Amino acid sequence: MLTGCRNIPVTSISLINRRLWTRKSFKSLPALCSVRSSLPSPTHSHFITTRQTLVPLHPPVNVFSTRGLCHSAHCTGLMELNEVLQVLEQLAPLSLAESWDNVGLLVEPSKSRPVRTILLTNDLTAAVMEEAEAASCDLIISYHPPLFRPIKRLVQKDWKQRLAIRAVEAGIAVFSPHTSWDSVKGGVNDWLVGGLGSGQVSVLSQALGGASHCHKLEFMVRSTEELNTVMEELKACDGGTTLQHSASRPDNSGIHVSITCSDSALTSSVQILLRHNTPSQSFSILKLEKPPLPGHGQGRLSVLDEPVTVATAIQKMKSHLGMSHLRLALGSGQTMESSLYTVAVCAGSGASVLNGVKADLYITGEMSHHEVLDAVAKGTSVILSDHSNSERGFLTVFRERLAVRLPDGVTVMVSKADRDPLEVV
């Protein structure tokens, strides 16, 4: 995966997470968050301030436990595709994926049929498709999305389009989780960093919750009549779909009003307030920021409970990844017997996430020549496994987590044909 880091100005955060689970869906009570940082006000007659506030959200739940969720009458039978997709969403909400990614259901058969066999693969190649057809698979879960860029036609000359056509003809659905698996707590990156043992683990690039409203406007009115008039105008311009408001009891200065609105409704809402005398002289605008989702995000940093030498780290990662060879770049001043106290990891192509992170060791699939040189010059050693080798081992872990949530009649397989295209010769 590739991604960049995000930074959020935070002065105070309060999060309350409560979770309610069912087999087909999950609900989370809102987290209550507030973050405000005062900015200089522009010189204007009606005094506008801009503040930043975190808003309520429904955060994804850490669902990577070993407890099954199947409680329906047909738990010993089969499941429909949409039911399997709901389980996958519970395991790793697609909202955690990066904005540039193409995740979710990519190929959907025209005729619905029960899901009997699921094949897990890191990449969907011709060899993996042959394996899926031979096993009469109903669903392929391909970690990397086989369809990524927009397609204007489906023809045989492009290898990825050929695979999509074969999936449609065989009635095989194709689903890709990609960076949602990277981001979710207990996902690919937590599995990868665990290869060196236990430690205090933190997220490098924090995932953020979603919010339906982007702005809060606070203002005052003189009377209930004026409040009703202003609110009717605001509702009319906003279509009555995104506007939310609350009003406190009046005091000597009037009635305090607070509304939240979407980004598209902000300009028209301000224009309405400016047409009314009291609101125009008292309103302020608050920017609602998306709150962080603890434990979720791209990349991980671990302060190891027990430091290891460079030589030991290599052996541990070979065992963890199931590889006989890895590539190593020793950091400036380090030797094979140097002790490593901190390790930063990012599955796949992790340079954009690892860049600037202070750690004794970087572990990722691939980095460019110059990115490795930069890390080494700063005293950080680098272990590279090639791209998909830093991800593929998680498929076996995920197979167990998925299987316990599905009926006994559904078989979950890990591809034997899937492999990294590069090998040491």
Residue ranges at the known binding site for a divalent metal cation:
144, 182, 387, 391
The radius of gyration of the chain's CA atoms, rounded to the nearest angstrom, is: 26
Q: Cα(18)–Cα(16) distance, rounded to whole angstroms? A: 7
CA distance 183 to 193: 13
Tell me the pairing of strands 327-329 and 292-309. unpaired
Q: How far is CA 318 from CA 125, 181, 237, 313, 390, in A?
A: 25, 22, 61, 9, 11
* Residues forming a β-bridge with 327: 384
Classify 12 as helix, strand or coil.
Answer: coil
Backbone angles phi, psi at 107, to 5 degrees: -130, 125
Which distant-in-sequence residues (6+ apart) come within 8 Å of 16 by Cβ?
A: 29, 30, 31, 32
Phi, psi angles (nearest 5°) of residue 296 = -110, 140
Tell me if residue 21 falls in helix, strand or coil.
strand
Q: List the binding residues.
A: 144, 182, 387, 391
- Kindly state the tokens that stand for 183: 């981001």
Describe the crossing of helices 394-403 and 81-91 by its angle, rounded to 10 degrees: 120
Task: Give the whole-angstrom CA distance, residue 393 versus residue 322.
Answer: 8
